[in-house]
Amino acid sequence: MRKFIYLVGLLVITGCQDVDYVSSQYRQRLGEVVGKSAAYLYASWGEPQQITPVADNTYLATYYAAESKPFDNNYQPYADEISYTAMAVPNYGLPLPPPLFYCKTTFVIRNNIVTDFNFNGDDCY
């Protein structure tokens, strides 16, 4: 029984590593922009979809990405998504909407220099 519990724990940890690995790769990609100018960010990422002033000489540049398929075409992380049947809504014979894969990335820009970043979503690559 003890071996079974260890095996289950190992599988859970192994399953989480893929997400952490992808997250760390994306984090590294974003980190390469920190310390660079806002012009460099815009040249490499394009114009942000949203700019939010937060203080004198400081603003947030936010990029949104949403697709009906994963950005890297890897459906594997989504193969066993949890289904919440208690929240199921009948579709009344209408076609179901396609799944949505999403990522929101925000850069902090202070004095025209990228100083920090943040991201969330289920498909940040």
Taking all residues of the chain, what is their mean pLDDT, rounded to a whole number?
75
87 pLDDT exceeds 80? no
Asked if residue 82 is part of any domain, the answer here is: no
Asked if residue 83 is part of any domain, the answer here is: no
Asked if residue 80 is part of any domain, the answer here is: no
Asked if residue 20 is part of any domain, the answer here is: yes
Q: Which domain holds residue 48?
A: 2-73+91-121
Task: Determine if the pTM surpasses 0.85.
Answer: no
pLDDT of 17 reads: 41
Asked if residue 55 is part of any domain, the answer here is: yes
Asked if residue 7 is part of any domain, the answer here is: yes
Rounded mean pLDDT of 79-92?
56
Give the number of domains in the chain: 1
pLDDT of 91 reads: 65
CATH number at residue 96: 3.30.1450
Rounded mean pLDDT of 73-97?
58
pLDDT of 20 reads: 55
pLDDT of 76 reads: 55
Q: 34 Cβ partners below 8 Å, 6+ apart?
A: 114, 115, 116, 117
Instruction: State the DSSP code for 56.
Output: T
Q: 57 Cβ partners below 8 Å, 6+ apart?
A: 110, 111, 112
What's the pLDDT tens digit per position in 22-74?
567 888 999 999 999 999 999 999 999 999 999 999 999 999 987 766 655 55
Asked if residue 85 is part of any domain, the answer here is: no
Asked if residue 23 is part of any domain, the answer here is: yes
